[in-house]
Amino acid sequence: MLPPTETFILRSTLTSPFGRKVRMAIDVLGLGGRVNIVPADTLDETDTLRAQNPLGKLPCLLLADGTALYDSRVIIEFLQELAGTSKLLAPSGLERYSTLTRAVLADGITDAALLLVYEGRFRDPATFSERWLRHQRGKVARGLATFEAEPPPVDRTDLVSIGLTCALGYLDWRKPMAWREDHPRLVEWLTAYGTFEPAVERTRVPAK
């Protein structure tokens, strides 16, 4: 039985794309009053985040008894159970596994985009690996092409639409590679879905 009144701490920044997934889910599930966001610095070796999540990654949800839940998919499943719904991910059946697969694809775009950004953050430009960057760009390009061929419904919020919003939002914000020109259906999807789902605007990364 999940705690009916407990409040939680979400270790995340407002700029983390995976953190935004959880923030969107919190908004959609109406759990805003039960989760306090406490920022963490993934580069700071002394940040308690590394004790909470040994991988040192955001987001991480802390329960009152100190239990830490990660990653974003696990946290969102926990939150949806807490909210008593299966709106974001069906509990069983093929629908569950096809939603999970599409959600993994959206997250994979974000993972590859993050690695493109990290190359610039962790290496001097002289040591950039063009081969590695091309490898990651290929993942983003193939993932986007798959969603371009079949965008999600614009009038439905689930784990896929949340993950895709955060992937595209991150590409727009950090700009590790251009995507809009070659993906008109996804541009249209993002605009239409943003009109349908208020959590898109409410969780937008603050302007730089």
Distance CA 181, CA 201 (A): 22
User: Is residue 34 classed exposed, middle or buried when 0-12, 13-18 and 19+ CB atoms within 10 A define those classes?
Assistant: middle
Task: Kindly tell me which of 17 and 152 has the beta carbon lying closer to ligand GSH.
Answer: 17
Distance CA 117, CA 12 (A): 18
Q: Which of 9, 31, 42, 141 binds ligand GSH (CB under 6 A)?
A: 42
Least distance (Å) from ligand GSH to the CB of residue 143?
A: 15
Task: Kindly tell me which of 101 and 195 has the beta carbon lying closer to ligand GSH.
Answer: 101
Task: Kindly tell me which of 29 and 58 has the beta carbon lying closer to ligand GSH.
Answer: 58
> What's the DSSP call for residue 119?
H
Task: Kindly tell me which of 59 and 169 has the beta carbon lying closer to ligand GSH.
Answer: 59
Query: Site map for ligand GSH, 133-162, x if CB under 6 A?
Result: ------------------------------
Distance CA 197, CA 117 (A): 28
Q: State which amino acid sits at residue 199.
A: A
Query: Bridge partners of 61?
Result: 10, 69
57 binds ligand GSH (CB under 6 A): yes
Least distance (Å) from ligand GSH to the CB of residue 114?
A: 6
59 binds ligand GSH (CB under 6 A): yes
C-beta separation of 9 from 22 below 8 A:
no
Task: Kindly tell me which of 39 and 192 has the beta carbon lying closer to ligand GSH.
Answer: 39
CA terminus-to-terminus distance, the chain? 42
SS3 122: helix
56 binds ligand GSH (CB under 6 A): yes
Residues 14-33 within binding reach of ligand GSH (CB under 6 A) = 16-18
Q: Residues interacting with ligand GSH, by CB under 6 A?
A: 16-18, 42, 56-59, 71-73, 107, 114
